Amino acid sequence: MSSVIPVLEVFGPTIQGEGAVIGQKTMFVRTGGCDYRCSWCDSAFTWDGTGKSEALTAEEIIERLDTLAPASYGHVTISGGNPLLHKGIGQLVNLLQARGIQTAVETQGTFWQDWLKQIDAVTISPKPPSSGMKTNWETLNKCLTQLDTRQVSLKVVVFNKTDYRFAKEVHHRFPAYEFYLQVGNEDPTTADQQKLMQDLLQQYEQLIDWTMNDKEMNRVRVLPQLHTLLWGNKRGV
């Protein structure tokens, strides 16, 4: 009998829009609850009470995935909220791996769970100053050093020059890890998709420009959020 996991949404198949496995065909399991309160959180419904989570066992989550995409997925992304709040995800990961399904997790790295070691692609994304959150370097370090460098990447979302400087600090503190810069979505609620797309491309170009002209940022990757370019702020795609 597994312990339950608070689940906000299960959807897919769709593409992973960001980070190290960008473009990957994947299913999403979004868990509820977060220890952070980022000012620009695009998943605030996972923790601000506007979204209702269901308490599901690992077996029930697998059932949902199988119903959505019968025999049609080979990759599952667990995101949040902060999935590291939930010990019960370990059982989900075991079941997926027993079926040969690859896994990815996205978290800010503020907690540790042993199941993280089993994940194929872990994205740790410390939050920059514009989020209003403060990174505990020691906790982050503890999380990172328990993982294999080939399994984990660091990602920082950048909204402005101060965030960019923070991103540099993260990269220089942990140079052994693959590093991703990502354009922030300034307007996670607008329905004007055309304008959002153009703004995002413009900010992406700006971020590229900063990085290309920075001799201290050579071994990095700069990416947009593909799902936002394609579908704007729509949820569940």
Q: How far is the CB of 90 from a second copy (least distance, A)?
A: 24
CB of 204 within 8 A of CB of 183? yes
CB of 30 within 8 A of CB of 56? no
Q: Which stretch binds a second copy (CB under 8 A): 9-17, 44-52, 54-62, 81-89?
A: 9-17
36 binds, among ligand SF4, a second copy, none (CB under 5 to 8 A by kind): ligand SF4
CB of 104 within 8 A of CB of 75? yes
Among positions 30, 75, 127, 171, the unique one binding a second copy when judged by CB under 8 A: 75
If one asks whether residue 78 binds ligand SF4 (CB under 6 A), the answer comes out as no
If one asks whether residue 122 binds ligand SF4 (CB under 6 A), the answer comes out as no
Q: Which stretch binds a second copy (CB under 8 A): 43-51, 71-79, 84-92, 137-145?
A: 71-79
If one asks whether residue 121 binds ligand SF4 (CB under 6 A), the answer comes out as no
Joined together, the tokens standing for residue 225 give 């959020």
Is 16 annotated to bind ligand?
Answer: yes
If one asks whether residue 225 binds a second copy (CB under 8 A), the answer comes out as no
Burial classification of residue 131, based on how many CB atoms lie within 10 Å of its CB (0-12 exposed, 13-18 middle, 19 or more buried): buried
If one asks whether residue 43 binds ligand SF4 (CB under 6 A), the answer comes out as yes
81 binds, among a second copy, ligand SF4, none (CB under 5 to 8 A by kind): ligand SF4
3-state secondary structure 155-215: EEEECCHHHHHHHHHHHHHCCCCEEEEEECCCCCCCCCHHHHHHHHHHHHHHHHHHHHCCC
CB of 135 within 8 A of CB of 126? yes
CA distance 158 to 125: 11
How many residues are listed for the chain in this entry?
237
Binding site for a second copy (CB under 8 A): 12-15, 21-25, 70-75, 102, 180, 197, 201, 204-205, 208, 211-212, 214-215, 217-224, 226, 229-230
Binding site for ligand SF4 (CB under 6 A): 34, 36-38, 41, 43, 46, 80-82, 108, 127
- Binding site membership for [4Fe-4S] cluster: which residues? 34, 38, 41
